[in-house]
Amino acid sequence: MVTQPTPRTVAPTSASSRIDYAGLLNEEQLRAVEAEAGPVLVIAGAGSGKTRTLTFRVARLLERGVQPENLLLLTFTNKAAREMTRRVADLAGSFADVRRILGGTFHHAAHLLLRQHAGMLGYSDRFTVLDREDARDLMVTCLAERKLKSDKRFPRPELVLDLVSLATNLQQAVSEVLFDRRPQFLPLAPEILATAARYRQRKAQLHLMDFDDLLLNLKRLLTEHPTVRAQLTERFHSVLVDEYQDTNKLQGELVDLLAGERRDLTVVGDDCQSIYSFRGADFSNIIGFPERHPGCAVFTLTRNYRSTPEVLQLANAAISRNERQFPKTLVAERPSGARPVVVPALDAADQAAWVARRVLELRDGGLSLEAMAVLYRAHNHSLELQLELTRLGIPFRVRSGVRFFEQPHVKDVLAHLRLVNNPGDELAFKRVVRAVPGVGPTTAEHLWTSLRALPEGLSLAEGLARDEVRTHLSRKSRPGFERFAVLMGRLGRPEAAADPGRLIEEVLAGGYAEVLAAESSPEEGREDDLRQLAEYARRLEDLPRFLSELALVAEFAAKEALGAGAPGDVLTLTTVHQSKGLEWRAVFVLWLVDGRFPMSQAARSAEEEEEERRLFYVATTRARDHLALVYPLSVLPREGERILLRPSRFLEELPAGEGAPYDRLVLASAEAVLGGLPLGLAGPGPMGSEPED
């Protein structure tokens, strides 16, 4: 645990204050708002009024005589900045012109400051800021200039951009990020590094900055030009930062530089909600703040206005295992409610069926679908649930992205299977053949026309081998087309249709896994999506049944799309990462088994495991009234045998027995498996060794 410094004394609110701070804030919030000038760290627990506290802190500084133009308020979204400025205006608008506060995102503030001093860095004061699309276009140009001749599949321009961006925000060399974060591209390292260098060179030549350059160049300005730094630190008497736990290394350095020698710096955040390291967020910024700012005041907000005591009891127990944290215990301001439930289900289908039934029960009890959400660690964990909701006609939105079966990579693989099932499926053929390097829409059309002109009775694989078909191929496309033809030959074996899951694995092994590696980052989990789809497909007896099952989903999605403009009552499905900052009356958390939550690749060290536990904590604290933690005991039969799963370590860590902060609801379908599990799989913790009613 991190030991908290003793808070500095708090100046009492003046009787002549124009704002009734004591009447509008609780004691914890008031202490943070009234803190004396200097470095201040506010650890704001979930649902504790973080934004309110920071807003009142700004108003208090204005009331003490700090001029609006001497305040710098940094947020992570423009929406948050506008909302905060509006609230400050409501509080202090009668005695201060809040429009003169420099408030907004890090990038917004950096942009305004660089406009005044760009010439000192060799840029025109009319430099252009590239949006994401502009930056991609410039990277495409740089790739074209390189005239790559490698036989390896080169990563998409967007992935090279991500590498450069991550390197900037982590303050590391591109080569380091490539080695640590994208090792699959190491064989192409010389070309990637040369392309990244060319991209930076072209930006400088053309007086262009992308969003990351705004921060990097502001840091350069502050470190390379002491006079400018002196001017800016003199201008900003107070610097305030929202969501400080999400700052990356570069942002953390900028905050410290802008605070200057005056060190009148207020940062607000929750170390227990630091969950974005994959984007470059640096946990050491918030956890190491007291060491970087000796004598800082630390204030902790623990009074939670969101959740019931029962939900908070479980959340507090869940996060208590983390060693690196500012210790705190959330205390509910709301009355008691329902106890959370831990629900072991037989398998993923059983898990989905229970959640869907429970959603309907809550709706029948008067709770709207809008007031409910289903959370999961990875997007593919929602596959079975999306199918079940579709079958039952329960409308839902996928906040974590498009619906599972509407994702391009899922459609690509399903197109292979549709073509196996029906070689006359023109749309499926054209989709899969266009994935072959060098085959565009025109070539795909010629190939299809040639195939349809062949004598009847030929298999697809036989047709792809004919000279009159291959004559339309360019030299560049022939190797890839040959690989495609071999794959379709394997997929088209008569016995293959009996195992649709195996067909999906064959598509991945036949080259599509390499396509995914070149076109997406591991964090996107596209290959995991497809392996989850294969796991689901193994449940069904053959390929036609699998495809007809998916046709139901497509029909339901199409009907929903027709009424998309009309407001309606809709259930939310989302990853935990996407749920941060939101709340619902009822929350379901799925797939709480080791390897899924926490994810095996995300818990390889103590630091990574602690971040996964923080993610679990974020999931639990989204719930206001009802919380259900659900997990399957097994995955679907493979070759006739069930594979047992171990409950998430985060469940096993919760107190068991009479002190358990939950009720356990064992489904009838799961009882036999639960009672027969060996101790290593059934316990310790919430599973126990004996099933309960």
Q: Is 201 a catalytic residue?
A: no
With contact defined as beta carbons under 8 Å apart, do 285 and 252 qualify? yes
Cα–Cα distances (Å) from 60 to 70, 72, 460, 540, in that order, read 14, 14, 75, 64
Residue from 210, 212, 242, 506 carrying the catalytic annotation: 242
Q: Give every CB contact of residue 536 below 8 A, 6+ residues apart in sequence.
A: 348, 383, 384, 387, 501, 636
Q: 618: closest CA among 274, 295, 337, 357?
A: 274
Q: What is the 3-state secondary structure (H, E, C) of 287-336?
A: HCHHHHCCCCEEEEECEECCCCHHHHHHHHHHHCCCCCCCCCCCEECCCC
With contact defined as beta carbons under 8 Å apart, do 157 and 191 qualify? no
> What's the rounded Cα separation, in Å, for the pair 618 and 613?
9
The pair of three-digit structure tokens given for residue 534, joined into one six-digit string: 């294969």
> What's the rounded Cα separation, in Å, for the pair 494 and 58?
71
Residue from 613, 622, 649, 664 carrying the catalytic annotation: 622
Q: Is 87 a catalytic residue?
A: no
Report DSSP state, residue 396: E
In one-letter notation, the amino acid at residue 40 is: V
> What's the rounded Cα separation, in Å, for the pair 72 and 257?
13
Q: Is 273 a catalytic residue?
A: yes
Residue from 13, 29, 251, 273 carrying the catalytic annotation: 273
Q: Is 83 a catalytic residue?
A: no
The stretches of 422-569 forming alpha helices (DSSP H) are: 426-433, 441-452, 460-464, 467-470, 478-491, 500-507, 513-519, 526-537, 543-562
| DSSP string across 92-135 | HTTT--GGGSEEEEHHHHHHHHHHHHGGGGT--TTPEEP-HHHH
What 3-state class would DSSP assign to 638?
strand
Report DSSP state, residue 3: P
Around Cβ 402, how many Cβ atoms within 10 Å? 12
Q: Is 452 a catalytic residue?
A: no
Q: Is 100 a catalytic residue?
A: no
Residue from 210, 212, 243, 499 carrying the catalytic annotation: 243
Residue for token pair 């390291």: 277
With contact defined as beta carbons under 8 Å apart, do 554 and 405 qualify? yes
| Binding site residue list for ATP | 44-51
C-alpha torsion sign, points 449, 455, 456, 458: negative
Report DSSP state, residue 595: B
| Binding site residue list | 44-51
The pair of three-digit structure tokens given for residue 508, joined into one six-digit string: 């991945």
Residue from 28, 29, 31, 50 carrying the catalytic annotation: 50
- From edge to edge, which strands make up the β-sheet containing 71-75? 102-105, 71-75, 238-241, 265-269, 40-44, 297-301
- Give catalytic residue positions: 50-51, 242-243, 273, 622
